[in-house]
Structure 1
Amino acid sequence: MKTKRIILPTDFSKNAWNAMIYALAIFKEVPCDFYVLNAFQVGTSGLGTKIGMANDTHFFNLLKEESEREVNKTLDQLHQISTNPDHHFHGLSIADNLVNAIGRTVYNKGMDYIIMGTKGASGLKEVFMGSNTYKIIREIDFCPIIAVPDDYQCTEGLRTILLVTGYEHLFESYELSPVVQLAEMFHAKIQMAHVTDGNLTKEQEHSKKTLKLKFKSVPIDFIEVKKETTVQNSIQKIIGDDQAIDLVAMINHDRGFFERLTREPVIKKIAFNSIVPFLVIHLFE
């Protein structure tokens, strides 16, 4: 089995640690190179003087040392938890903003997934996206991202993956592979959900038929869901009605569709209010 390369961004919070535990659980049987990444930044002092620059350099060195120390501590903890000898852990302390640090690492090292936490929670129904998670989902459009809700625990691997689609695109097999590979790894079922407030067009019917042929290696169900007040509410209802759904996936193939979806004010702050992890795959460079 090919080794997976996975970025685990961290700010050393409980939330980030929880996402790492999820990554170890979900890829328990898979050879992996995990990259624990912390990004740190020094704001300029605004003083164009030697004292100002010396202060910045001193502060930079302090931040760098702290980042490296905490990353190494995290690596030690992950080593103790992982039971797979084919799991390898690497630390990255990068002086940059988080989006740039992740983007450069994905590009330079050819990553398969980014797995990170969402920030804070207000009851089970509201898992607020941290601004960083939201930025990464919006801006890193060349690597699949799994956002893990605060306190979510992976107890039974993956049983059902809910893949939300508008049937507006004829998917190629390679575009579906991040979802299919996860389903194959866990012998999971894929539930293809189309949220509708009307009948399918001829083009959408054709796309649906083509999709049926693409999923030969995994069991798949197709469901039509009557649109609630918003697409987000409709998806939330599906998850609430089916306790076996362990991952919500969305393939973003069209900026227009995604833009429309993210204009729903709730999604600005939350990944579908999701109480399960949320996988986003972008199909454009």
Structure 2
Amino acid sequence: MRKKRIILPTDFSENAWNAIAYALAIFKDVPCDFFILNAYQLGTSGLSTKMGMANDTRLFNLIKEESERELKKTLERIQGVSNAPDHTFKGLSIADNLVNAIGRTVYNQGVDYIIMGTKGASGLREVFIGSNAYKIIREIDFCPIIAVPDDYRSNGTIRTILLATGYEHLFESYELKPLLQIAQLFNAKIRIAHVADGEFAKEQEQSKKAIKKKLKSIQFDFVELEKDSTINQTIQKTIGADNSIDMVAMINHDRGFFERLTREPVIKKIAFNSQVPFLVIHLFE
């Protein structure tokens, strides 16, 4: 089996560390190459004088050194808690914005998942990992992303994954694969939740049949959810009522069915309100 390759972005906050700890817990028995990635940038001072350039260079070197130093500390901290023989760790300190740094690494390293926290450090060192988390979910549409709530602690198991869908298209095997791999790893059940909103169209019936075929090797069930005031609230309520749900997943389309239906930025809301980790899979063809 090819090793899983996973990017763990960090701004050296405890929230970023929490997402790293989550990744180590759920992939503890899986051979993995982890890339601990910190991106840093220098906002240009707009002084194109010689003195301004020299100051910029000096400041840039300070930021670069801090990034490398903190990465080294993070790698040492990981070695202190991880003893999985099949895990390797590589620190990447990249001078670029976070989205570009992650995007390039996904392409260059053939990455399977990005696992990150949804809130960041506060104060001067803040890299706005919160707004960055959403930027990454929105812009990196060629790699599955798991967003980990800041206070979520994993015991290393996943029992049920709630897949929220509008049955808006025929599911392809490649887009379900990141979800199926996690389900198989834990022998988890997939609960396919449709938020009822009016009549079921013929296309939706076909989509439901297609997903049934694709999941036959896995335990799954279908559930129709009565729509609360918003889809996000409906999903959160469902998670709150069933403590076996350890992950919520959505497959994001160019113009998500949910967004069209409700004018509600569902993905954004779930990313920031979910009590459990949120797996987003894009239609990356």
Query: Do the two structures share a fold, i.e. TM-score over 0.5?
Result: yes
RMSD of aligned residue pairs (Cα, Å): 1.9
The two structures have a TM-score, normalised by structure 1, of 0.93
> Post-superposition shift, 1:284?
3.3
1:1-29 CA distance string (max 9 Å, x none): 32000000000000000000000001010
Query: Which one-letter code corresponds to 2:112 in the other structure?
Result: D
The two structures have a TM-score, normalised by structure 2, of 0.93
Of residues 44-53 and 160-169 in structure 1, the stretch that sits farther from structure 2 once superposed is 44-53
Query: Which one-letter code corresponds to 2:87 in the other structure?
Result: H
Paired residues for 1:1-285 under 5 Å: 1-119=1-119, 130-257=130-257, 259-260=259-260, 263-264=263-264, 268=268, 271=271, 273-284=273-284
- Identical positions, percent: 73
* 2: CA distance, partners of 1:261 / 1:91: 42
Unaligned stretches of 5+ residues in structure 1: 121-127
> Post-superposition shift, 1:202?
1.1
Query: Which one-letter code corresponds to 2:80 in the other structure?
Result: Q
Of residues 264-273 and 13-22 in structure 1, the stretch that sits farther from structure 2 once superposed is 264-273
* 1: CA distance, partners of 2:108 / 2:266: 34
> Post-superposition shift, 1:211?
0.8
Query: Which one-letter code corresponds to 1:152 in the other structure?
Result: Y
Query: Which one-letter code corresponds to 2:242 in the other structure?
Result: D
Query: Which one-letter code corresponds to 1:148 in the other structure?
Result: V
**Is the CA contact (8 Å cut-off) linking 1:236 and 1:272 kept in structure 2?**
no
Q: Name the SS for the 2:273 alignment partner.
A: coil
Query: Which one-letter code corresponds to 1:46 in the other structure?
Result: G
* 2: CA distance, partners of 1:252 / 1:266: 10
Distance 1:23 1:213, change over 3 A: same
2:123 aligns to what?
A: none
Alignment size in residue pairs = 278
> Post-superposition shift, 1:255?
2.0
> Post-superposition shift, 1:45?
1.8
Query: Which one-letter code corresponds to 2:237 in the other structure?
Result: K
Distance 1:150 1:84, change over 3 A: same
Query: Which one-letter code corresponds to 1:186 in the other structure?
Result: F
Unaligned stretches of 5+ residues in structure 2: 121-127
Distance 1:107 1:44, change over 3 A: same
Q: Name the SS for the 1:34 alignment partner.
A: strand
Q: Name the SS for the 2:271 alignment partner.
A: coil
1:25-49 CA distance string (max 9 Å, x none): 0101000000000011111121111
> Post-superposition shift, 1:264?
2.3
* 2: CA distance, partners of 1:148 / 1:51: 43
* 2: CA distance, partners of 1:232 / 1:28: 31
> Post-superposition shift, 1:260?
3.7
Moved over 3 A (4+): 258-263, 265-270
**Is the CA contact (8 Å cut-off) linking 1:112 and 1:143 kept in structure 2?**
yes
> Post-superposition shift, 1:259?
4.4
